[in-house]
Amino acid sequence: MTASTDLPIFSLHRGSLPLLISIPHLGTRIADDIAATMTAAAMRVDDCDWHLDRLYAFAKRLGASILSPTYARYVIDLNRPPDGANLYPGQDTTGLLPLDTFDKEPLYQAGREPDDAELARRRELYWRPYHEALAAELAALKARHGKVLLWEAHSIRSHVPRFFEGRLPDFNFGTADGASAAAGLAEALAAIVTGHGGYTAVANGRFKGGYITRRYGVPGDGIHAVQLELSQITYMEEQLPYSYDDTLAVKIEPLLETLVATALERVASS
């Protein structure tokens, strides 16, 4: 899962709807120069948001724009602010340039951790282009449609004791406590999930939305941002080799499509 930096930093599919789906933790590549400093644990890329491009394949058919990176969050976390500020003060979290896994395994060989200059280099090389593309596509969609929905697609293991106790709800919607999207949108989406049966959901709970949701969601300016942190136990094997589970996913895919379509309708009517 390594590559040189001559690969594209991101891919952007442009659609026809006022909808941009960003999947900032989908990437699995690690450039060779960075990989040479890292541990075997880093090479597993455990904390990837596995298979979300496949799970959200319906979005391309609908006409969504879709933005995703090539490189792993271990290279730099695209959903963290450029200054590395903790988005959840007082709570444990990984940073702009992660130094360990969610299970607190070191990502770097002893004495080879990145310094401030390396952080600045990666921010310029990997972080900035993704955010420039995101901002430009939102601006283009808003100019064309007047309003736009930014759907931040994420997933995480159902049990990560470092961040939360017990099992995480299946669907975790975040709108920065209502600041990044139309009033009541996260709660409405959670109600759809719980009404569907068999799944649990919460609005603005442990995951309220990361940097992208908080930075770009300005509903008063016509840009509504929602983050969905989906528990991976609902659609895949949570341990190596992190396989996609078609039997589980076939139940999630139509529900996701309903959620995205509902959010788009509510944004259009807001």
Res 270: pLDDT:
86
Evaluate if residue 27 carries a pLDDT over 80. Answer: yes
Full-model pTM: 0.94
Pairwise CA distance, residues 209 & 256, whole Å: 18
Evaluate if residue 5 carries a pLDDT over 60. Answer: no
Other beta carbons within 10 Å of 217 = 25
- pLDDT band per the 50, 70, 90 thresholds, residue 86: confident
Evaluate if residue 88 carries a pLDDT over 90. Answer: no
Number of residues assigned to the chain: 270
Evaluate if residue 265 carries a pLDDT over 90. Answer: yes
Pairwise CA distance, residues 247 & 249, whole Å: 6
Pairwise CA distance, residues 189 & 175, whole Å: 11
- pLDDT band per the 50, 70, 90 thresholds, residue 2: very low
Res 196: pLDDT:
84
pLDDT tens-place string over residues 175-199: 999 999 999 999 999 999 998 879 9
Res 158: pLDDT:
96
Specify the fold of 2-269. Answer: Aminopeptidase (3.40.630)
Q: Among 173, 181, 175, 134, which residue's Cα sits nearest to residue 259?
A: 173
